Structures are given as C-alpha cells and as structure tokens.
Amino acid sequence: MKPNDSLAAALPRWPAAFNQVPKWAFEDADVFALEHERIFRGPVWHPVAHDAELPKPGDYKTVTVGRTPLLVIRGDDGVVRAFHNACTHRSTRLAMAFRGHSGDIECPYHRWVFDTRGQLRSCPGEAEFPPDFKRADYNLAQPRTGTYMGLLFVSLHPSPPPLMDWMGHMAGPVRDALGGNGRLTLLGYQKVRYQSNWKVYIDNDAFHAPLLHAAFRILRWQGGSGRQSRLPAGHMMILSEVAAQPSDGGLLRDPSVIGYQGGAAPRNKAAAQAAGSSLLAFWPLTAIANHLDIFNIRYANPVGLDQVEVHYAYFAHADDAADMVRHRLRQSSNMIGPSGFVSLEDATVFLRIQQALDTDPSTTFFLKGYREGADLTETKQNDEAPNALWWEHYRQMMGFAREEA
C-alpha cells in the first residue's frame, strides 16, 4: 500500500447519504496534500491559456496547477507550448510575472538561457561540465499538452486519457462558446483571491443565485426553465434562462449595463438569446462563462488550504464591432469584477463558510432538487442537488470509502 493510500484509508469515511459532504474535506491539511497528487497531478486535463492571450512570439503567461508552476509561451515558430517553470539545472523558478514578453528565458541563478521553444541555448562554464554533458538533455521539461479551439490544456499525469475522450460531450458546447472557430480577442484580466478552500468556490451552486445576488434578481433568474447537465469525468453545463431584454425594476441608474446586445458567438446566438447565460465547467476547476454579453474563461487554482485564486480572462470575438467591445468591457467590470454586482457577495459567503466549518453538524447537505435514487444528470437551473455528482467524482478520485448505509 502506498503512503497516500494509507492516508486515504485513515481518514474518516465519507457519509453514506449521497447528498452529504463531510466538512473535513474543506479543512483537513492531509486531504489538501493528497488532492495535489490525486487530482492536480492525476489523470485530468487543465485548461491554462487561449491562443488570444499570447498573440505574438515571445508572449508568455505563468500559471500554477496545484503546486506546480508552469510557463506558457508562444515560440518563435508561432506554436504555443507549456513548460515546467523551473530551470533544469537547479530548479530555480524562471518567470515570475503573470504575463510578459521575452525573446529568451534566462535563469538568474547560473545564467542558463533557453529559447522560446524551451531549448537550452547557452550555459556559462560548459567547458568544465562532465564530458558527456549535452544541452539537449537539459531542455525545459514539458507536461503533456493538447489543444481544442485555441484552448491549451495540460496534464501532469504520465498517462492521461485522450483529451477529446476526457472532454466528451463538452466539446460541442465549448466549440460553440468559442465562436465555432476559437478566434477571440483578449480584453483583459481581473484577479480575485477568495478566502476559502478551493472546493467552497467550486461548490457554489445555482440555487443561491437569485437569493444572494441582487443582480440575478434583476435578471429574473428565479423560476427560469434553463437546465443543468452533469457529464462523465465530472464536467458540468448550465444553460440558464434570463430575459433577453431584462428589466432592472428601477434599481439601476443606467439599465443598459445589464442589456443584451447579441454578442454571443455566431453559432450560439439563437441559443444565447433564449438562455441568456451559460457556464461550461471543466472538472475540477476551470470554467467558460457567458452571461449576457460577458464572455470569460475562469482559471482557478488553490494557493493554500483556505485560499483560492481566480483569474478572469475576458474576451471579445474577433469580428466584434468597437461598440460591442466597449459594451463587453463595461458589462464585465460591473457584473463580475472584484467590486461588481456578483463577486463581492460570493467572496463574503465563501469566507463565512470557511469560518464556520468546525461546527456541528459535521456534514453539509444538498436539498433543493434532491430525491434519493433520482437521476441528477439533468435538473432545473436553480437546483443544488447536481453538486452531489461533482462530489461523487471527487470522492472516487481521492479514494475515500463511504460509510455503510
């Protein structure tokens, strides 16, 4: 038995009831350590960048998957690659900035220089290295990668499933969300660090939306006929119904900030007018969101047991007119930004959940839309019960045994 198998076996058992989650899953340091091996380094694909974020050769961004820092850079040959963000000599972190541009990659410690394709180009003192030293043996290490519609995925597992098999039925909706061709223009980023375990963030259900968020009440989210779909591999799709021309009920000085101007992807415009909001969530963390004319990719990663950082990357479609781009920017900052209609309310609740975990009862419960033995793969847009399927996938990935019923 591996040490981490012993750890999983030593933890309390998972509740027998399918709609219950143990609170220790959010606050146990050993669980958090095990997640990095079983999930973030497990047989999972993690979206890390879109082509539009790196338009020119030498453009790069840094990301972290679990505890592993990565460097994503467009090479001088136009290819976007991901590398472990560490010098192959003594494991010094290379790039520190979130984004930047560089003609090469230099390690500050011993001045090893790599080109934008990750190849070791120079290293001082090479004449005194062992006689069998070859630069090609010290090129930057690469995780496994795959691309779909301009979106780059990485896996830290030695043998992940094929990307398209892992994505499954998400592929079509992702293609539509990305405009059918993946041609996007980056508008900018916003970064939010939530003071909670990463699973508190991802457990944020659809039930709360019309109850917590005044903005969603304005959008008449309550009572919509949209649907949630839970897919194999833990993925989720939510198509939520809101009014195409929502009324603010006199609450906003300028109601146009929540107006829909038809900025959905061309392949998906009719669906967006009927639905108004879509969320495509890859297991475990990253999501593609389209709310009215807001289009973003939400890259999230835990930065500690009780903190999770989310980078919201906002996009326009490549053929958007200038007025639509301005509208997207304005709507994005007012709705989703750090001080927008939505994020502040979520951040407050996440913190309050984290502060109250060491309490009785020892589990949390999913109730709305739940019936024992019922199929939860297709449910109403405001149900919370489908979250239980995310947790079942998590339980299986982590190797936690259930209590006997």
Q: What is the pLDDT along the chain (405 residues), one digit of tens a residue?
A: 455 677 667 777 999 999 999 999 999 999 999 999 999 999 999 999 999 999 999 999 999 999 999 999 999 999 999 999 999 999 999 999 999 999 999 999 999 999 999 999 999 999 999 999 999 999 999 999 999 999 999 999 999 999 999 999 999 999 988 887 779 999 999 999 999 999 999 999 888 877 887 766 666 655 567 889 999 999 999 987 765 445 556 666 777 777 777 765 544 444 444 446 789 999 999 999 988 888 999 999 999 999 999 999 999 999 999 999 999 998 888 777 666 767 778 889 999 999 999 999 999 999 999 998 889 999 988 899 999 999 999 999 999 999 987
Which pLDDT score is estimated for 267?
45
Which pLDDT score is estimated for 276?
66
Place of tokens 């508008």: 187
- Expressed as residue numbers, the domain containing 235 is 169-393
- The CB density around residue 331, as the number of other CB atoms within 10 Å, is 24
Residue 326 domain-assigned (yes or no) = yes
59 and 175 housed in the same domain: no
Residue 398 domain-assigned (yes or no) = no
187 and 262 housed in the same domain: yes
Which pLDDT score is estimated for 223?
54
Residue 40 domain-assigned (yes or no) = no
The three-point CA angle 225-229-230 to 5° equals: 155
Residue 174, classed as helix, strand or coil, is helix
- Which of 173, 162, 186, 164 is CA-nearest to residue 49? 186
Residue 403 domain-assigned (yes or no) = no
120 and 78 housed in the same domain: yes
Of 156, 184, 213, which closes a domain? 156
250 and 360 housed in the same domain: yes
103 and 184 housed in the same domain: no
Which pLDDT score is estimated for 51?
96
Measured between alpha carbons, how far is 315 from 187 in angstroms, rounded to an integer? 5
Of 124, 156, 188, which closes a domain? 156
Measured between alpha carbons, how far is 260 from 247 in angstroms, rounded to an integer? 11
84 and 194 housed in the same domain: no
Which pLDDT score is estimated for 275?
44
- Read off the CATH number of the domain in which 389 is found: 3.90.380.10
120 and 50 housed in the same domain: yes
Phi, psi of 280 (to 5 degrees): -115, 105
Residue 26 domain-assigned (yes or no) = no
244 and 149 housed in the same domain: no
Which pLDDT score is estimated for 270?
47
Of 134, 156, 178, which closes a domain? 156
250 and 316 housed in the same domain: yes
Measured between alpha carbons, how far is 118 from 180 in angstroms, rounded to an integer? 31
Checking 1-7 for CB contacts under 8 A at 24+ apart, the result is 4/34, 4/37, 4/38, 5/399, 7/34
Which pLDDT score is estimated for 31?
96
Which pLDDT score is estimated for 264?
57
Number of domains in the chain: 2
151 and 189 housed in the same domain: no
8 Å CB contact between 145 and 83: no
Which pLDDT score is estimated for 265?
52
